[in-house]
Chain A
Amino acid sequence: MNTAKTDIVITGLSAISAAGVGSEALMEALRRGESLLKPVPDEILGEGGHLWAKADAFRAADFMPPLKARKFDRCSLLAVVAAGMALKDAAVTPGSLDSTRIGIVLGCGFGGISNAEQFLSGYFASGAEGLSPMLFPNIVPNASASNASIEHKLKGPNVTVVQRFCSAESAFLMAHRFLEEDRADIILTGGVDEVFPTMLRCFKAMGQIRNFGAGFGEGAGILVLEKASHARARKARTVASVGDIRTIGRISPGAQEEGLARLLPEPHRAEQISLSGTAGFDKWLLERLPDGPRIDIAPILGRSLAMGGLSLAALILMLKPGSPGLHLASSPEGPYFSIDLYGGDPVQS
């Protein structure tokens, strides 16, 4: 059954993906429903026939001076820009609110690894003289969220999480709880990820390039979560409200039904369903879903570990005011998340 709406609402969002920069570009891609994945250049994997979805339309120079952009890794660039867009969408003006009450909790899968590879490659090629200290600070997975917090002066809760294809959903749960606990008034949450050649080579080496490593994408989907009372007080527009968030880490052998019942209690009503991670492959989960139109952004924008941010943004954009939506995310062998959202403003709808 759907649970009551919580006191947490969504007042803004942003999206950067292979569809382009901005939520309008995301919506247009969803309307068209055509794959935006492109061939991976043959020289990267030494063979053809593979696809990826780079956010080619994203140019950092459109948002900041090139010299400044150089100090960030690509994941950080995506996060810094997407966070700024989300704050703007939520009409949160830097300096107008207490910065210690605004936080950021992001899911990030491969953040920092590209920098780590470059850093180590320098060392393996040239010894200690090949080390580039400039690269090292951005090898940490939290570089993207932390750089976004530095750029936008967000001093509230600041956490980065990764948990396979449910990294953004795990972040969403944490952000929601932080607001419930009054650790902040506003939290930016969602996911950011990049795709780069060595990552695909690793997938190929591990035999995953034609399995769950196929068709990876990159981008950022960031939501602005806020306590409803806070949003009302500052007269913010509410685009959705949050219902229950359910999760299990994995299915216990011999107790599948108990796990399923916790994840997807029946009966459940949803007028729009979004699938994320590998949920589209999990027939046993799909069979339990309520009727209703489904959207899986992976065939359109590529799959990534933190794609849940973009998937949630897509669901919110498609939800009519007052209508219930369900977001289902999974990873091979877990974890699993299902999240209830309701379109529009809970007061008006």
Chain B
Amino acid sequence: MEIVKQKRIAITGLGIFSAAGKDVPSFTRALMTGSSAIGPVDLFDVAPFPSGIGAQVRDFDPRDYFSRPDLGRLSRVDQLGLIAAGEALADSAALKHYSPYDIGVCMGAGASGMLECEQWLMQTMAGRKARPSLLRGVLPDRTSTSIAEKYNLCGYQTSITTACSSSASSIGWGADLIANGRLKAVLCGGSDCLSILTFSGFNSLRVVDPSPCSPFSLGRQGISLGEGAAFLVLEDEAEALRRGAQIHGYVLGYAVGGEAYHMTAPEPTGEDAARLMLQALERSGVSGAEVGWVNAHGTGTPLNDVVESKAMKMVFGERASQVPLISTKGLTGHCLGAAGAVEAMATLVALKEGMIPQTLNFRGADPDCDLDYCHLGPKKSAARVALSNSFAFGGNTTCLVLSGSDQ
């Protein structure tokens, strides 16, 4: 493999707004203490569904963050994204150092403004006149456009829509945009919110656990949906150091690919997942021995967790049982289009704190999931490098290789 020589991609800004924490400090506390955000959902009527729980952002009054005219223009997913993006940009202080044309936005999107569009459709079907502004977020690019406008980011902008791997891909692609010099700074991450569409859809597929999801546990029945937004600011390390920026960690590399197998089922042997994990390591110049742990896609669906465990064995061989494979979805829920970014954030926070997060909601050991999942509690770790996996509908797969800061 001929790899183009990469600049070292530094992470200089972090921002998150999720059910498990409305900023980086509160998210860090939740991650350290294993405080699950999964509970009853009341954003819409969940009574018709077998499962009525999820990780909903609670105690959130948008009027605390936005003016009245802005609120008329912004969907819930835009609001979550704008708040998290604002935290990341303020943390990096990159805006005042570069031309606006040298700063871009690249984000992963999922259901986007579907929550509001559903209201339009429901009201229209009932013969009522619905507010046209409910439709503003129908396209997944609306949030990135709003972010670019609000913070005057005038460089390249895009929205990646590969379902549950969207925002992981946005981080990898963001690193590429810095590496090839197209941008000097890029805001990358994702935003997604709960909606009737995804809630009813996953329930109709019978992959939603009626109890909080329990990845890699015996008796797990599926996912718990979540919502939130997380963003990173990436820069060339040399430029970041020159301007005295704080460096939280690095995107060492990534791999993106497809399984070409099935729209909803993972390739059962785990070979394609393993291929992309190995490719991510190779492209990062990192050996398997340097990886301390892996933040799994770890949805809690019976098949996905087994396949990911198989892939781990192919990647790490005999060492697989010594490389914890953990899932933070029991904490945050499955944030779909934002999942990869929320999990990258969890990975960076944990690397910084020197710990490996616990996989919550253990129900018993599954003989088909026979690795170390940190089910019984978090572990201290001196690891410098971790992988973060994202697998999506369509077989879309993205693996990020992240490291903590050198300090």
Q: Footprint of B on A, CB under 8 Å?
A: 99-100, 103-104, 108-110, 113, 116-117, 119-121, 123-125, 127-128, 131-133, 136-143, 145-147, 149-150, 152-164, 167, 170, 173-174, 177, 180-183, 201-202, 205-207, 247-253, 255, 258-259, 262, 305, 333-335
Pair B204/A160 contact, Cβ less than 8 Å: no
Which of A143, A160, A249, A253 has the most chain B CB atoms inside 10 A of its CB?
A: A249
Pair B161/A141 contact, Cβ less than 8 Å: yes
Of B109, B120, B260, B394, the residue contacting A99 (CB under 8 A) is: B260
By beta carbon, the residue of chain A nearest B154 is A252
Rounded to whole Å, the gap between the CB of B152 and the closest CB of chain A is 6
Instruction: Kindly list chain B residues whose C-beta atoms are within 8 Å of the C-beta of A162.
Output: 109, 139-141, 158-159, 161
Instruction: Kindly list chain B residues whose C-beta atoms are within 8 Å of the C-beta of A133.
Output: 201, 204-205
Give bound CA distance, A142 to B135, whole Å: 21
Pair B141/A163 contact, Cβ less than 8 Å: yes
Q: How many residues of B contact A (CB 8 A)?
A: 72
Give bound CA distance, A121 to B153, whole Å: 37
Of B3, B138, B160, B261, the residue contacting A159 (CB under 8 A) is: B160
Pair B3/A182 contact, Cβ less than 8 Å: yes
Give bound CA distance, A125 to B126, whole Å: 9
Instruction: Kindly list chain A residues whose C-beta atoms are within 8 Å of the C-beta of B392.
Output: 140, 142
Of A110, A128, A160, A205, the residue contacting B160 (CB under 8 A) is: A160
Chain B facing A: main interface SS: mixed
Pair A149/B258 contact, Cβ less than 8 Å: yes
With known contacts A124-B122, A155-B258, A207-B132, A255–B162 Cβ distance under 8 A: no
Mark each residue of chain B from 247 to 260: 1 if its CB lies under 8 Å from any CB of chain A, else 0: 00000000111111
Of B1, B125, B261, the residue contacting A182 (CB under 8 A) is: B1
Give bound CA distance, A113 to B395, whole Å: 20
Pair B394/A259 contact, Cβ less than 8 Å: no
Rounded to whole Å, the gap between the CB of A92 and the closest CB of chain B is 15
Instruction: Kindly list chain A residues whose C-beta atoms are within 8 Å of the C-beta of B4.
Output: 180-182
Instruction: Kindly list chain B residues whose C-beta atoms are within 8 Å of the C-beta of A143.
Output: 263, 393-394
By beta carbon, the residue of chain B nearest A110 is B139
Instruction: Kindly list chain A residues whose C-beta atoms are within 8 Å of the C-beta of B395.
Output: 146, 149-150, 158
25 of the cross-chain contacts (CB-CB < 8 Å) are A120-B200, A123-B196, A125-B125, A128-B203, A132-B204, A136-B201, A140-B162, A140-B163, A140-B393, A149-B260, A154-B258, A155-B257, A155-B260, A159-B160, A160-B160, A162-B161, A174-B173, A182-B1, A202-B135, A206-B135, A249-B104, A249-B153, A250-B154, A255-B100, A334-B148
